[in-house]
A and B are shown apart, each in its own frame.
Chain A
């Protein structure tokens, strides 16, 4: 099994930076994913980390520390359209994905 924890809500101003933390406990780690989900829609893939370090992709970056069971998603230059739920998901050796409860990010003008 696994425990995946992330904050419930975060609010930030347009143009700012927000960091969403995720901690996890798992028996067989095989990668960590971040997804964006707008209300009533399916999740869309943002990033994937399997090795320690930072992965940068445009305005979004994701960091992983396997020894600490910790990841964060960094959103820069926030835009109104970034208001959504952000899901941290851990893949185990059997290729199943387990999701955190999600962090609702609200971007204000």
Chain B
């Protein structure tokens, strides 16, 4: 089945530093990947849609200069949290669909803790 690999699974960083999260589709090409954020006991909130070879589309309220998304190839998308602050601590998850009319495959998630 379709697999999306996400790294790192967890990261602790100091306030003010940047963190990069990678998502790779291992056995299919993902022209579009989605990035979500999930706070404890809350649902997944879509942050942005990552399109291969073009700029990401951000949801309302998500700062594009803070959450940098790069989709350089059909199998790799990265999310960089710049100048991280404690309020950015969350569970970040990517997803992609191998086909337009089927379920989305999620990465394993990244637990970010900013101290």
Residue pair B44, A43 in contact (C-beta under 8 Å):
yes
| B interface residues, how many (CB within 8 angstroms) | 24
Bound-complex Cα distance A33 to B97 (A): 13
Residue pair A41, B32 in contact (C-beta under 8 Å):
no
**Interface assignment of B113: CB less than 8 Å from any CB of chain A:** no
- Which of B43, B102, B111: most chain A CB closer than 10 A? B43
Residue pair A96, B49 in contact (C-beta under 8 Å):
yes
- A87 — nearest CB in chain B belongs to which residue? B43
Given contacts A48-B102, A95-B32, contact A100 B43 (CB under 8 A): yes
Q: List 16 A-B residue pairs with CB atoms under 8 Å apart, sorted by A's residue number.
A: A40-B109, A41-B109, A42-B93, A42-B106, A42-B107, A42-B108, A42-B109, A43-B106, A45-B105, A50-B101, A87-B43, A95-B97, A95-B100, A98-B46, A99-B45, A102-B43
- B102 — nearest CB in chain A belongs to which residue? A48
B98 CB to nearest chain A CB (Å)? 12
Interface size bracket, A side: 10 to 19
Contact of B46 among A41, A50, A97, A100 (CB under 8 A): A97
Residue pair A96, B104 in contact (C-beta under 8 Å):
no
B33 CB to nearest chain A CB (Å)? 12
Residue pair B34, A97 in contact (C-beta under 8 Å):
yes
Instruction: Give residues of chain A (52-109) contacting chain B, Cβ–Cβ below 8 Å.
Output: 87, 95-102
A75 CB to nearest chain B CB (Å)? 18
Given contacts A95-B32, A99-B44, A101-B43, contact A45 B104 (CB under 8 A): yes
B77 CB to nearest chain A CB (Å)? 15
